[in-house]
């Protein structure tokens, strides 16, 4: 058994780390305060090839898998979780299902621009009344011969403001029960009737774009169907198996930033005539943070490795997300506590880490939904 990253992965990790430290860390506070990501960051991610990390090589991508993506995402999220989730959604929630379920024509049409970042991808599953219970979605696609006529509203769509391509889950059979009547459609952003609306004002990851997306009489040709007609729920769930590894990697990145900030501050801050790191109460916090982070990374790597082998990874990815997201919040809480009053102000980036960590327990399946998935597997 080898716990080392191979040479290719070490190379890509080092590239991601250098980019994150030089380009993202100095911008992360600005991204948070301005509620957007600098356009130069999008360009530089394109130059490094991270938009196309998982795009097959024949379409201009790096053709790498889940392990590589998780390694890169940990580094990006350590610096800026807003940028991290943007890259995660693009690769894992749009690129991966296109590669797995797309026709050759769909791949030829979309992959080259997705690989460079000229087109950014978004994933529209959630609706106002269909969150954890995604199978109850109501956005409709009526059969109009050569096309579908799509009507409805999607909420919480990450990347919507800058997306060129949306993967949209719609109800194509009103008579089929719940998950059985759902299909997945690839819808370009310039399709008439598709509008990006309300931008959410969020607690954390404020630089990332999260919007409501409206579909009003949107005509979508039948060849936009991704996977089988009425087979969309399987596409959505398989995609989330991969997406959750991305969010678990995000959680490890945020947790690592918390640990690093805590170590630094513990050495610098003096009380009772000594660095607070001399106190055992602080040392135990650092030890627990580090141990939980290492365990989280192991779970993430195991889930990513399982997915790259083509084996089912639903339980592994749910376990990785459950544990890593709890760990990120544990680390963020301890980090803020170690910083005392200073951590509670925006003089330090610690309060941003605290806010950013929170989302990892909510999106791509809330914590209790991960528990439900794991328990269902155990009891099957
Ligand atoms: C910033 C952000 C970005 C997002 N990006 C996207 C995106 O790009 N695309 C997309 O499709 N969606 C996206 N989402 C939506 C996200 O996936 C949902 O918010 C999430 O699945 C939870 O749904 P909900 O918010 O409706 O909560 P609800 O489903 O209403 O859940 C509320 C609470 O009830 C609990 N709960 C619900 N059902 C059960 C149950 N059976 N057992 C135990 N507890 C339960 C939940 O765990 C949660 O704690 C995003 C959300 C946010 C906040």
Mean local confidence (pLDDT), 90-102: 98
Neighbours of 230 (CB within 10 A): 17
Q: How far is the CA of 364 from the centre of ligand 1 (A)?
A: 7
Residues with Cβ within 8 Å of residue 159, at least 6 apart in sequence = 86, 89, 90, 120, 121, 122, 208, 209
Pick the atom of ligand 1 nearest to 365's CA.
21
Residue 364 annotated to the active site: yes
State what percent of residues in the chain have pLDDT above 70: 100
State the distance from the centre of ligand 1 to the C-alpha of 247, rounded, in angstroms.
Answer: 14
The predicted structure's pLDDT at residue 111: 98
Ligand 1 lined by 125 (C-beta under 6 Å):
yes
**CATH homologous superfamily of domain 233-379?**
Butyryl-CoA Dehydrogenase, subunit A, domain 3 (1.20.140.10)
CA 159 to ligand 1: nearest atom: 8
For residue 257, pLDDT beyond 90? yes
The pTM (predicted TM-score) of the whole model is: 0.97
d(CA 258, CA 252): 10
| CA of residue 329 to ligand 1 center, whole Å | 17
Evaluate: CB of 132 within 6 angstroms of ligand 1. yes
Mean pLDDT value of segment 177-190: 96
The number of the ligand 1 atom at minimal distance from the alpha carbon of 364 is 17
* pLDDT over 90 (residue 348): no
Quote the pLDDT of residue 2.
82
Atom 25 of ligand 1, residue of closest alpha carbon: 131
pLDDT at 38 over 90: yes
202 ligand 1 Cβ < 6 A: yes
Ligand 1 pocket test, pick from 132, 133, 159 with the greatest ligand atom count within 8 Å of Cβ, gives: 132
- Looking at residue 1, its pLDDT comes to 78
Q: What is the distance in A from the centroid of ligand 1 to the CA of 211?
A: 15
Is it true that domain 7-119 has CATH number 1.10.540.10? yes
pLDDT tens per residue across span 114-146: 999 999 999 999 999 999 999 999 999 999 999
**Gap between the Cα atoms of 111 and 57, Å rounded:** 10
Residue owning the nearest CA to atom 20 of ligand 1: 363
Bridge partners, residue 158, by sequence = 210
Q: Which of 82, 366, 372 to mutate to test the pocket of ligand 1 (most atoms within 8 A of CB)?
A: 366
Please compute the mean of the pLDDT values over residues 306-329 and round it to a whole number: 98
Residue 3 pLDDT more than 90?
Answer: no
Which residue, by CA, sits nearest to atom 50 of ligand 1?
A: 156
Ligand 1 mutation pick, 88, 126, 359, max ligand atoms within 8 A of CB: 126
Q: Residues with Cβ < 8 Å from 194, sequence gap 6 or more?
A: 166, 187, 213, 214, 215, 218
CA atoms of 203 and 200, how far apart (whole Å): 10
Query: Which ligand 1 atom minimizes the distance to the CA of 202?
Result: 1
The reply to whether ligand 1 has any atom less than 6 angstroms from the CB of 89 is yes
Domain 122-231: assigned CATH number: 2.40.110.10
189 CA → ligand 1 middle, Å: 24
Looking at 81-196, list the stretches that DSSP marks H as alpha helix, in order from N- to C-terminal side: 81-88, 96-101, 104-116
Strand 121-124 and strand 274-275: pairing? unpaired
Contact 96/317 with Cβ under 8 angstroms? Answer: no
**Sequence ranges of the domains in the chain:** 7-119, 122-231, 233-379
Closest atom of ligand 1 relative to the 158 alpha carbon: 8
Q: How many residues does the chain have?
A: 380
Q: Ligand 1: distance of its center to the CA of 97 in Å?
A: 21
């Amino acid at each position: 058994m080898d716990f080392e990253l191979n040479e290719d992965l070490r190379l890509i990790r080092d590239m991601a780390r250098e980019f994150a430290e030089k380009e993202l860390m100095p911008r992360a506070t600005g991204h948070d305060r301005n509620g957007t990501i600098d356009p130069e960051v999008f360009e530089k991610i394109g130059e490094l090839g991270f938009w196309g990390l998982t795009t097959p090589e024949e379409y201009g991508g790096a053709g790498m898998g889940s392990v590589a993506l998780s390694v890169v995402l940990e580094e990006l999220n350590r610096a800026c979780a807003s940028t991290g989730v943007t890259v995660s959604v693009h690769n894992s929630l749009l690129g991966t299902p296109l590669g797995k379920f797309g026709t050759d024509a769909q791949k030829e049409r979309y992959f080259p621009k997705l690989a460079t970042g000229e087109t950014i991808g978004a994933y529209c599953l959630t609706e106002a009344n269909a969150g954890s219970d995604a199978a109850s979605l109501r956005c409709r696609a009526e059969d109009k011969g050569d096309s579908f006529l799509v009507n409805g509203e999607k909420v919480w769509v990450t990347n919507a403001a800058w997306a060129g391509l949306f993967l949209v889950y719609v109800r194509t059979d009103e008579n089929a029960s719940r998950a059985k009547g759902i299909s997945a459609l690839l819808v370009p952003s310039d399709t008439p009737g598709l509008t990006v609306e309300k931008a959410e004002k969020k607690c954390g990851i404020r630089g990332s774009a999260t919007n409501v997306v409206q579909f009003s009489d949107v005509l979508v040709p039948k060849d936009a169907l991704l996977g089988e007609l009425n087979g969309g729920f399987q596409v959505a769930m398989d995609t989330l198996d991969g997406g959750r590894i991305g969010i678990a990697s995000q959680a490890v990145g945020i947790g690592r930033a918390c640990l690093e900030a805590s170590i630094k501050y513990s050495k610098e801050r003096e009380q009772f005539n000594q660095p607070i790191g001399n106190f055992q109460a602080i040392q135990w916090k650092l030890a627990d943070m580090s141990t939980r982070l290492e365990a989280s990374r192991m779970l993430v790597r195991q889930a990513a490795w399982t997915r790259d082998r083509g084996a089912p990874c639903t339980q592994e990815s749910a376990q990785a997300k459950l544990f890593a997201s709890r760990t990120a919040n544990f680390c963020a809480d301890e980090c803020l506590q170690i910083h005392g009053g200073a951590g509670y102000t925006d003089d330090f980036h610690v309060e941003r880490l605290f806010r950013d960590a929170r989302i990892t327990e909510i999106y791509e399946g809330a914590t209790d939904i991960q528990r439900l998935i794991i328990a269902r597997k155990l009891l099957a």
